[in-house]
Amino acid sequence: MPGPRRNEKSSTYFVQDRKNEKELTRLKIQDRMITAAMGGVLAEQFDPTVFRRVLDVGCGIGGWVIEAAQAYPEMSLVGVDISQRMIEYARAQAQAQQVNDRVEFHIMDAIQVLEFPAADFDLVNLRFGLSFVRIWDWPKMLNELLRVIRPGGVVRLTDTAITSRSNSPSLTRLLEMLQSALFRAGHLFTEESAGLTSHLARLLDQRGCQQVQTKAYVIEYRAGTPEGEANCEDLKLLFQTVQPFIQKWGSATQDYEAIYRQALKEMYQPDFLKVGDLLTAWGSKP
């Protein structure tokens, strides 16, 4: 497997290959799919226009940041990610979408130190921390998120359940392997299908956040719909890009490739149905 680029920090992200174009493609699909399913970039917030300066941590290809800039012209937004490849792509997209006057992207390891002054942001967003944050990293990282937001500012966390409900037995087996690998790698508190969703509010409470609230989403992906097709393409790419991670942590069965091929057949059947669960938790800094 290719290692990190020269001078690029090692990463805890579950896809270690920084040049993996399939993962970049998958993140483009996932960004659009999840934001649409949630009703927009900040759909659960009462008045998003109060957030004048916003930070997105682990921004990947910058999709959420760019959509937020398009939806809220008064916002100034910053995205950070450890991957140079992702940040380069995000900067190019911001320029192409003509929002680069209000959007910045920086290479940064959020698990270490956020290189911003204290009280610099009104809202800090983090989606899918499950993919790179280990359970022992959460206290320090949340302390950093709280440090860089102003009093009264909001920390917003979104994550997904792992083992979704579907009528594909082979997809279920792949998801169970991923769940096992994430637990063994330290990304899960317990080996549970809910992933981090049942822990997000507790994590915010423990760091002293006030008025902690949650919003759950149940998303259906049906064959023959645009959402269903996007989800199948996301899963098709996911179980290619995370295969080395699953193997590294001893969670891949010997017949992984056969199970993967069978899952593809089942997912592209006309009656395929998958139901996924998402949860957003947010709280304010005292």
144-190 pLDDT tens trace: 999 999 999 999 999 999 988 999 999 999 999 999 999 999 999 99
pLDDT: is 5 or 98 the higher one?
Answer: 98
Q: Comparing 259 with 2, which gets the higher pLDDT?
A: 259
Q: For tokens 């929002």, what's the residue? A: 99
What does the pLDDT average to over 65-75?
97
pTM of the model: 0.94
Please say if the pLDDT value at position 3 is more than 80: no
CA distance 275 to 269: 16
* Backbone Cα Rg of the chain: 18
Mean pLDDT taken over the chain = 95
Cβ–Cβ < 8 Å for 94, 105: yes
Of 10-14, 26-30, 75-79, the least confident: 10-14
| pLDDT for res 9 | 60
For residue 203, what is the DSSP state?
H
At 163 the pLDDT is: 86
